[in-house]
């Protein structure tokens, strides 16, 4: 995945200028005494979160290029495969005839073909698969997240903070880079924000239907990313239980608990349908079969894999073995710091270094709801200390990115108040000068955010170039059933592959498999009606085989 550019002297200087511009605007705003009532009415209206969600989805579509982009990373391709299997009305697909041609990262080949991951995200992708637009559902989940980021920031602060939070989050490199993918974080982010929204609605109204919504969102989120949702559910559970204990109104919890338990039953059902045992989870089982060291804990498990690994799969595993071997208990403090810094680097690329300063300042000035956000971030970081991963692999923390930008927006409010002569503490209801100042800051950040969108669009074109080129090369083949043997050069990164499985091999137009040289004849003999081609990845040329 393409990370943000490394800061240069010019970007640091530009960030200083942006921060200076914010201070200048705040100083001028003390003279702007006419309250922007029209803007306030719109931002406070019932439809403004919907508008924010639609705008977010449009930005995702613009940046991604289309809703039928290929999966790039192994994880994405596994999720897409499982979604296609679900879309065909089945839990699993039949095993391929010769596994050595079809082995795929994060995918079981035996006893059937299915992804190792929990099922909820793949199920979420199914409507897009049916429509021939696999990217539709990640974009829709991001749109829901965008609407709720605006709503939550408005409810927890005010409409001006909501506007700034939403714009900073929705145009961020990290947000757009991960939203334009098939990673499960699009679903888990939406589910967590839905649960937070429903919790606040319940606190405001005491309507039990909101608790049902909390249970449903957390349940689906848990079946998407269990560790993430367990960590993010803790603050919500604390708030709910504190209110219930204070009011002694335990009865309304019964139905949500039953609903949540019913949704969590999807996990054992998935286990039963895939591995034939409701107690056997495919996720840890995959690690034991293929990469015994790839699991929570410290150090590397030296046990051999239970299945012979093809070279392409073994190369991926070897790239992570050293990481696990070097991750020990003594690594925890440095791992926590490195991962937090990596998130901040993603949040503060380019001119957004100014936001990094504001985020750190907000952490020092944090009150009430900001402290709750910081605790939530810390809980997620602590949860993932159980697992070794590169510090820059911040996709595990995408769900809490809105909190970082909320902190930045809150601190922006304090800056506007302080330099407009209103004091350093921003109240919920802002006077005319602060409201006008925040609008002026939003206008200052508007072209910067648009430029960020364009930069990410260019980065995503670069990220997707390999798979787009391969798809284009194969699209030129005659529309007849074929086998495409993919030949990778020795210098090719094992983290980018074209080989894939199919929900139904018999009806699939093309089998895209590894080139095994002389062994190709074995597979061709099993499908004599299919034309055979070789795709040379180095040149992206396809040749017909005799």
Contact between 486 and 498 under an 8 Å Cβ cutoff? The reply is yes
Report the pLDDT value the prediction gives residue 89, as an integer from 0 to 100: 97
Average pLDDT over residues 153-176: 96
Q: For 531, list phi and psi in degrees, rounded to 5.
A: -70, 150
Question: Scanning the structure block, which residue is given the tokens 């030129």?
Answer: 476
Domain boundary assignment for the chain: 1-68+142-183+330-469, 74-134+478-544, 281-325
The mean-pLDDT minimum among 148-157, 278-287, 488-497 falls in 488-497
Sign of CA dihedral 131, 132, 137, 139: negative
Contact between 166 and 146 under an 8 Å Cβ cutoff? The reply is yes
Can you list the positions of beta strands (E) in 71-204?
Answer: 107-108, 114-115
Angle at 72 between CA 341 and CA 87, to 5 degrees: 120
Cis ω before 118 (30° cut-off from 0): no
Partner residues linked to 93 by β-bridges: 113
Average pLDDT over residues 191-220: 96
What residues contact residue 356 under an 8 Å CB cut-off, 6+ apart? 344, 347, 348
State the Cα–Cα distance between residues 483 and 508, nearest whole angstrom. Answer: 10
Rounded to two decimals, the pTM is 0.95
Contact between 487 and 497 under an 8 Å Cβ cutoff? The reply is no
How would you classify residue 164: left for phi > 0, otherwise alpha for psi between -120 and 50, otherwise beta? alpha
The mean-pLDDT minimum among 118-132, 244-258, 266-280 falls in 244-258
Question: What are the pLDDT digits (tens) for 171-187?
Answer: 999 999 999 999 999 99
Instruction: Reply yes or no on whether the pLDDT at 140 is more than 90.
Output: yes
Sign of CA dihedral 497, 483, 502, 306: negative
Report the pLDDT value the prediction gives residue 1, as an integer from 0 to 100: 62
Contact between 431 and 422 under an 8 Å Cβ cutoff? The reply is yes
State the Cα–Cα distance between residues 373 and 25, nearest whole angstrom. Answer: 28
What is the residue-averaged pLDDT of the chain?
94
Share of the chain above pLDDT 90, in %: 86
Per-residue exposure over 168-189, b if at least 16 CB sit within 10 Å of its own CB, e if not: bbbbbbbbbbbbbbbbbbbbbb
Distance of CA 32 to the CA centre of its chain: 41
Contact between 136 and 70 under an 8 Å Cβ cutoff? The reply is no
Instruction: Tell me the pLDDT band of 425, cut-offs 50, 70 and 90.
Output: low
- Return the biggest CA–CA distance within the chain: 82
Report the pLDDT value the prediction gives residue 427, as an integer from 0 to 100: 67
State the Cα–Cα distance between residues 4 and 455, nearest whole angstrom. Answer: 10
State the Cα–Cα distance between residues 49 and 56, nearest whole angstrom. Answer: 10
Angle at 188 between CA 187 and CA 191, to 5 degrees: 85
Report the pLDDT value the prediction gives residue 430, as an integer from 0 to 100: 86
Average pLDDT over residues 212-231: 98
Q: For 507, list phi and psi in degrees, rounded to 5.
A: -95, -10
């Amino acid at each position: 995945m393409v990370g943000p550019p490394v800061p240069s002297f010019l970007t640091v200087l530009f960030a200083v200028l942006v921060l200076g511009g914010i201070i200048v605007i705040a100083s001028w705003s003390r003279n702007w005494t006419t309250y922007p009532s029209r803007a306030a009415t719109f931002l406070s209206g019932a439809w403004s979160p919907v508008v924010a969600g639609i705008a977010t989805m449009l930005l995702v579509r613009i940046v991604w290029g289309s809703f039928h982009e290929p999966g790039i990373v192994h994880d994405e391709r596994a999720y897409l495969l499982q979604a296609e299997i679900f879309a065909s009305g089945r839990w699993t697909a039949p095993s391929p005839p010769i596994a050595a041609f079809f082995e795929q990262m994060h995918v079981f080949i035996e006893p059937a073909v299915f992804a190792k991951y929990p099922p909820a995200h793949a199920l979420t992708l199914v409507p897009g698969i049916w429509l021939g637009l696999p990217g539709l559902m990640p974009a829709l989940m991001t749109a829901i997240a965008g609407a709720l980021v605006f709503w939550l920031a408005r409810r927890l602060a005010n409409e001006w903070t909501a506007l700034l939070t939403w714009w900073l989050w929705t145009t961020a490199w990290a947000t757009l880079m991960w939203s334009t993918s098939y990673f499960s974080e699009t679903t888990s982010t939406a589910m967590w924000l839905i649960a937070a929204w429903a919790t606040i609605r319940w606190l405001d109204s005491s309507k039990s239907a909101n608790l049902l919504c909390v249970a449903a969102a957390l349940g689906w989120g848990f079946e998407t990313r269990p560790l993430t949702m367990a960590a993010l559910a803790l603050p919500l559970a604390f708030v709910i239980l504190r209110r219930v204990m204070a009011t002694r109104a335990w009865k309304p919890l019964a139905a949500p608990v039953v609903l949540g338990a019913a949704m969590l039953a999807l996990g054992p059902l998935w286990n039963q349908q895939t591995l034939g045992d409701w107690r056997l989870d495919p996720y840890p089982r995959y690690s034991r079969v293929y990469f015994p060291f790839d699991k929570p804990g410290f150090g590397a498990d030296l046990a051999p894999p239970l299945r012979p690994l093809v070279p392409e799969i073994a190369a991926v595993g070897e790239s992570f073995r050293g990481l696990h071997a070097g991750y020990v208990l003594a690594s925890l403090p440095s791992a926590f710091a490195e991962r937090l810094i990596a998130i901040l680097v993603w949040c503060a690329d380019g001119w957004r270094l100014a936001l990094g300063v504001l985020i750190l300042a907000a952490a020092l000035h944090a009150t009430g709801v900001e402290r709750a956000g910081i605790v939530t971030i810390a809980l997620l970081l602590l949860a993932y200390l159980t697992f070794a991963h590169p510090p820059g692999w911040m996709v595990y923390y995408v769900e809490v990115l809105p909190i970082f930008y909320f902190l930045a927006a809150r601190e922006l409010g304090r800056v506007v108040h302080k330099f407009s002569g209103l004091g350093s503490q921003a109240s919920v209801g802002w006077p005319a000068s602060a409201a006008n100042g925040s609008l002026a800051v939003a206008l200052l950040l508007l072209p910067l955010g648009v430029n960020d969108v364009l930069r990410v669009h260019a980065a995503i074109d670069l990220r997707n170039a390999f798979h787009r080129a391969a798809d284009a090369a194969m699209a030129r083949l005659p529309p007849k059933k074929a086998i495409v043997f993919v030949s990778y050069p020795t210098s090719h990164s094992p983290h980018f592959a074209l080989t894939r499985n199919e929900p139904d091999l018999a009806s699939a137009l093309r089998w895209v498999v590894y080139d095994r040289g002389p062994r190709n004849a074995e597979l061709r003999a099993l499908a004599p009606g299919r034309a055979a081609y070789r795709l040379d990845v180095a040149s992206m040329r396809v040749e017909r085989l005799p």
